[in-house]
Structure 1
Amino acid sequence: MSTSPEERIDVRDDLSELCEELSELALEHSIAVATVESLTAGNLAAMLGKAPSSGEWFRGGIVAYDADVKHSLLRVPEGPVVSEVSAATMARSACELLGADMAIAVTGEAGPETQENEPPGTVWVGMCDRGVVTTERKQFDGEPEEILAQTLSLSIESLVGHARRRSA
């Protein structure tokens, strides 16, 4: 029997409501959404896929956990994958590969060890929205599961924020 992301990672109670809001906004504004994940290992896509009418707006997700996959499939330049360049390239590639209007990418280090000289809790989020790519770096505290939960929250909030701006 499989378990949902919320059962494995202690996510905020209101994230399901935010996913529902994203669904409404995506339908209202005809926004095709995609994800590309490393750090969160598909948990973000699983949460979006559970939202109402997700089949009408969620194009899908790519889990690129291994650096070689990021370099070959997503065209991330050689070098560190926990980086701004990696997050930006992943987001742009997801839009192109999945035919999305908006794509979010998450890469980082949940710990407990350091990766690529980045301390645990380092997270890069890339957003490609109508071809414009933005990035954000966060430094979260906590155990790996807490860092994953914080990353999921940030990702869903970012998607909803971008979708809300379509209404403005």
Structure 2
Amino acid sequence: MKDPAEKFMRIAEEVADRAQAAGLTVVAAESLTSGALSNALGAGHEASDWFRGGIIAYAEGVKREVLGVTAESVASAQCARELATGAALLLDADAAIAVTGVGGPDPADGEPAGSVFAAVAVRGEIHDVHFQFEGDPSEVVHQTVGAALRLLRDALPPIA
């Protein structure tokens, strides 16, 4: 399977174009993707102009202590929303994409394997989505990265 930066280059370029056209800075907060989402975003053209960075909050303590997550379950829409808002605040960004959930192969936190929650925040407006992906943990990660990039792209203002 391709490296996420290669596999998702086209959509990362679309994110880059929209972020730059709108003058927005972007961050990522990721759990189950362990940096794959940030890797894909960082490959977008002129990333140093719009991509402020990413926070890999894999451990529950990092989610809570660094990003301020208060959600009872770290595999939930509320957690994804709090990851996005926490990362945007911490890294002083206009937009944030966040993903959390259960990569598998086993269920966790009351959710089946492949259950992924994503949230995107753009200038204070936040939207979350729940996905149910199939496959082994690596396939779930790659599906999550693609879905998160599309969610972020679609939340950014279209180019006029």
TM-score where L is the length of structure 1 = 0.89
* Change over 3 Å in CA distance of 1:78–1:23 after alignment to 2: closer
Matched, 1:6 2:25: no
> Does structure 1 residue 67 correspond to structure 2 residue 60?
yes
RMSD: 1.8
Mapped to 1, the partners of 2:44 and 2:6 lie a distance apart of 15
Distance 1:123 1:154 in 2: 10
Q: Distance in 1 between matches of 2:23 and 2:39?
A: 21
Mapped partners of 2:63, 2:136: distance in 1? 25
Instruction: Give the alignment partner of residue 22 of structure 1, picking from 6, 15, 19.
Output: 15
Aligned pair count?
160
Secondary structure in structure 2 of the residue aligned to 1:86: helix
Runs of at least 4 residues off by over 4 Å: none
Tell me, in whole angstroms, the C-alpha distance in 2 between the residues paired with 1:66 and 1:34: 19
CA distance in 1, matches of 2:16, 2:129: 23
Gaps of 5+ in 1: none
Tell me whether 1:51 sits opposite 2:47 in the alignment: no
Identity %: 35
Structure 1 residue 167: Cα displacement: 3.5
Cα distance in structure 2, aligned partners of 1:127 and 1:51: 18
Supply the distance in 2 between the matched residues of 1:127 and 1:23 (Cα, whole angstroms). 15
Shift of 1:134: 1.3
CA-CA distance at 1:80 after TM superposition: 1.2
- 2:153 matches 1:155: no
Find the aligned partners of 1:71 and 1:167 in 2 and give their Cα distance. Answer: 36
> In structure 2, how many angstroms separate the alpha carbons of the residues matched to 1:156 and 1:149?
11
Partner of 1:131: 124
Q: What's 2:91 paired with?
A: 98
TM-score scaled by length of structure 2: 0.93
SS at match of 1:136: strand
Unaligned runs of 5+ in 2: none
1:65 aligned partner, one-letter code: Y
Instruction: Give distance in 2, aligned partners of 1:6 and 1:157.
Output: 18
Distance 2:100 2:39 in 1: 17
- Aligned residue in 1 for 2:115: 122
